[in-house]
Structure 1
């Protein structure tokens, strides 16, 4: 056990102080992210909306996320990641607090769109910040530390959120989520001075190299892979909680514990796993492939039996896919981005996840309403089979390219 602990700590050595500060701020932010995992349950159980209605609200969620990711990427290249991150956290916190006072379908559509527009501007900016402050050779581990902070906060958030719902109410979550976002923005302002970032890291004029992301054929194929993967992945945060409740009769606190498993596994295992995969020199593209295989398997396995214990194994498979695929796909996106265009490239990368919110939640809700949960899971498994084929194709294309042959 001591050896595992020493090796685990060793995985974090060599990362810059700024990387740790950005990860700390991200942890503070995500620790309060209790609203989103329970949003579909809140809309059905507290607001009395139907699954198709919830699907349209989640479509607005995705449209806001898409717009915010695009705008965040553009603003990052223009005004710098520091301002984008700080404003996104602060305004997002206010938005979460106000969300509890909405009580109509159209009101939720507008409010969710605006909230996600503000909060998801954060995503491309934080990736660019990690790239700026990473030391040579530490990019993937820096992203892994950021994901560890996200998932440590995310594992605590749903667990505490589920307990709060069971013992107090849903509306308490809006206050906690909003306040923690505001605290995160204040922490960033205190710990990472804007003058230091502007003077030492961000230069006022950057020469842009290469082509825009939408003209890079390799990146567009990678983008398609990410869109399909994320459409499948987001089912675990909208349709799957309803499946746990309606088909397996789990209470909100048990759902919180199941989500906690995802975050806890990532906190304990992701960094050692990423370090080991880097040591064996796995390509970033093949790591993305293996991640997709595990995600697909997580949907297939829950249809094999009515035993509720299978949900734990499904979550384990999903988490393995996330731990393997996400850090390396993020690092691949960064390395494919030419100098001066990283904000735009990472903006498109995060847009792939935003598109999943537009089509994934709505598609999953309507498939379930029209057919069944089981049918929806088989469809998601089929999508991941397609993703696996496309990822192998991308790997072969990159191997033939002298620019990307090591990816």
Structure 2
């Protein structure tokens, strides 16, 4: 991989490590330390994700106008200010406002990282986006594990460590990313002169169709972090064993890359990755439907992880291929906002179904929802101009 991709990988891992310090502990802190209800905590986390969606869209558009360097610095500076203030102010009002601001700043940064990966290594195709995906998961694993260790001493240390990581990321970007914009950024002003409005409208319609299937995948996937987590507790599975499931997830994503590289070389079309990965998603939920022990949930998690390794990098790859010249950032911002929306809506939908009916009904509904991505993946690029047809790489 090019040197610039490695710089992006390191940066993404640092950034996500900081975010993962505090994210898994938000509900515990608001409920146990600040004395707020779980419902209140859920609303605040939903607002955090809602403002992250706004940040995704703004960050993608800023990339098209400013390039990745200025956009990432802008998003990270917002997150740094919020994280630093959070290290000193812990009242519920301050916590709520600063958590929302952090979500907004981080939302600006994420699509710019993906768009920059596609820009600095266009010939890499799926590999460019897969490298950022792996870096994200490495950051989640590091942040969650280190954060839990630090929180055992004091929650106050968590906020200090979180701020320190965000400051480190800002300095890292400032020192290493500036030259990446050279010869990789067209700028939206140049696009207007190219008269690509019709192409953009047609391509964006294709992106919308593709996004519907992506959203359905996230609605199902996020249940593992919410309703399925609660379900394992009802079955008497200890919380440390449930946490181990995510350790398995992170380990497989990193360790399986050599095997995944062989598979994606033989099957290059990202659409086929979605078809295969989506089928694997369905299989994982069929296993969960009958799971009663940790071993069965572990098997289901292994299956789910194989599916996500195929699907998650394929979607931004296709979005990058669809994007008209100079609109890469906006398309990455939009597709990132869809995944964030899945994080926001999925827990509410899953919780409502489980409360009103039974978790088995939720699993049947989710299996039904996973039928939709087959159609959207097949349909999204029908009718596109020849120059916008999918080119695998």
TM-score of the aligned structures, taking structure 2 as reference length? 0.86
Secondary structure (helix, strand or coil) at the match of 2:131 reads: helix
Matched, 1:380 2:342: no
Q: Distance in 2 between matches of 1:239 and 1:185?
A: 35
Q: Which one is further off, 50-59 or 354-363?
A: 50-59
CA distance in 2, matches of 1:108, 1:247: 34
CA–CA separation in structure 2 for the residues paired with 1:399 and 1:78:
26
* Alignment CA distance shift 1:277-1:150 (3 Å): same
Contact kept in structure 1, 2:86 and 2:94, CA below 8 Å: no
Tell me which of 224, 245, 249 is aligned to 1:236: 224
> For residues 275 and 23 of structure 2, what CA distance do their matches in structure 1 show?
28
Relative to structure 2, which stretch is displaced further, 333-342 or 307-316? 307-316
2:113 corresponds to: 126
Question: Deviation digits for residues 279-335 of structure 1, max 9, x if unmatched?
Answer: 223421121122222223333322303212222122212211110111122111101
Single out whichever of 76-85 and 298-307 deviates more from structure 2.
298-307
For structure 1, the residue ranges without an aligned partner over 5 or more in a row are: 1-14
Deviations for 1:362-403, whole angstroms, at most 9, x for unmatched residues? 2233333444444433333332233334334447x3799674
More helix by share: 2
1:310 aligned counterpart, secondary structure = helix
TM superposition shift of 1:108:
5.8
Who is 1:202 aligned against?
185
State how far apart, in whole Å, the 1-side matches of 2:321 and 2:274 are.
14
Aligned ranges for residues 275-354 of structure 1 at < 5 Å? 275-354=261-340
> Are positions 1:212 and 2:196 aligned together?
no
Q: Which moved more, 1:372-381 or 1:218-227?
A: 372-381
How far the C-alpha of 1:142 sits from its partner, in A, is 1.7
Q: Return the offset for 1:118.
A: 1.1
For structure 2, the 5+ residue unaligned runs are none
Measured on the aligned residues, the alpha-carbon RMSD in Å equals 2.9
Q: Contact between 2:64 and 2:185, CA under 8 Å: does it hold in 1?
A: no
In terms of mean alpha carbon deviation, does 335-344 or 237-246 score higher?
Answer: 237-246
Name the counterpart of 2:100. 113
Which of 103, 116, 132 does residue 146 from structure 1 map onto? 132
Counterpart in 2 of 1:223? Answer: 211
What is the Cα deviation at residue 116 of structure 1?
A: 1.1
Provide the secondary structure at the position in 2 that maps to 1:339. Answer: coil
- The count of aligned residue pairs is 385
Deviations 1:335-365 (A, max 9, x none): 1111111111111111111221331222233
**Which residue of the partner structure matches residue 66 of structure 1?**
53
Residue 199 of structure 1 deviates from its aligned partner by 4.6
Q: How does 1:241-260 map to 2 (within 5 A)?
A: 241-251=229-239, 253-260=240-247
Query: Which residue of structure 2 aligns with residue 81 of structure 1?
Result: 68
Structure 2 match to 1:9: none
